[in-house]
Amino acid sequence: MFDNWFLETVAGRYVADQERSFFNRFTICDDLQVAVQAGMGSWLKQPDEWLCNARDFHMKAGVWAWADESVDMLLMPHTLECSGFPLGALAEAYRVLKPEGRVVLTGFNPYSLWGYSKWFDGRLLPDKKDCLPLSALKENAKTLGFEIAFGQFMVYVPPFNCQWLLRLCSFMEPAGNRWWPHTAAVYGLVLHKHIIGMRILPEYEHTFQNNHEMALGMAKIKNSSG
């Protein structure tokens, strides 16, 4: 239900533009990969080849309808704070990702100017108490086994719903990024599921599934003691 805010309000469209740039930076997938957007975000305008929540499926936050290690790329635009079960949704994301898969997510920062505004009322946007602090999110992600590949803060302007005022305060974007990054309204993270061991390279996975044949070689790994 929060998706309308991103589409119909001046403030929402401003935030959506910045988040769209962040997501577009990391959403490169080839034809052999499975890419899923779990959560709201029709404003992201993903290709038809992507599986997208609301357009293609509905799932409970803590019980996802995907097999273990079945997804290569997972987008979660404000999925955690909108799910009602953020840590469960994050655990499910780890479960369904293939080794070396990535989660690209965004979240509202409760310790920002926006976090104390009228927007976070549980109707226009999630209630502030449902928004995970970045430090807590990082800690839980690492506990699950994720590596943090990239992080970014965005949206430093005050929570104005007026195009003229947002333009007037545009100087706050570069200033905020330099001087007070942790007060941004939104954070973005790229989480990497890195598992040490042997796995099929993506370019050969489809071939092996069709032919039911596999050729394995042996490699000697040198340890720290020599």
pLDDT in tens, 45-97: 776 666 766 666 676 666 787 889 988 989 999 989 888 888 888 999 999 99
Please check whether residue 180 lies inside any domain of the structure: yes
Q: Is 98 helix (H, G, I), strand (E, B) or coil?
A: strand
How many other C-beta atoms lie within 10 A of the C-beta of residue 206? Answer: 12
Please check whether residue 225 lies inside any domain of the structure: no
pLDDT in tens, 34-53: 888 887 777 877 766 667 66
What's the pLDDT band for 206 if we cut at 50, 70, 90? low
Does residue 33 carry a pLDDT above 90?
no
What's the pLDDT band for 138 if we cut at 50, 70, 90? very high
Does residue 105 carry a pLDDT above 80?
yes
Please check whether residue 223 lies inside any domain of the structure: no
User: Is 204:33 a contact under the CB 8 Å cutoff?
Assistant: no
Q: What is the CATH number of the domain that holds 185?
A: 3.40.50.150
Which structural domain range is residue 7 located in? 3-198
Structure token pair of residue 82: 């909108």
In whole angstroms, how far apart are CA 108 and each of 48, 104, 134, 169, 204? 27, 14, 9, 20, 39
Strands (E), the chain: 35-37, 51-52, 71-77, 97-108, 147-154, 186-192
Please check whether residue 127 lies inside any domain of the structure: yes
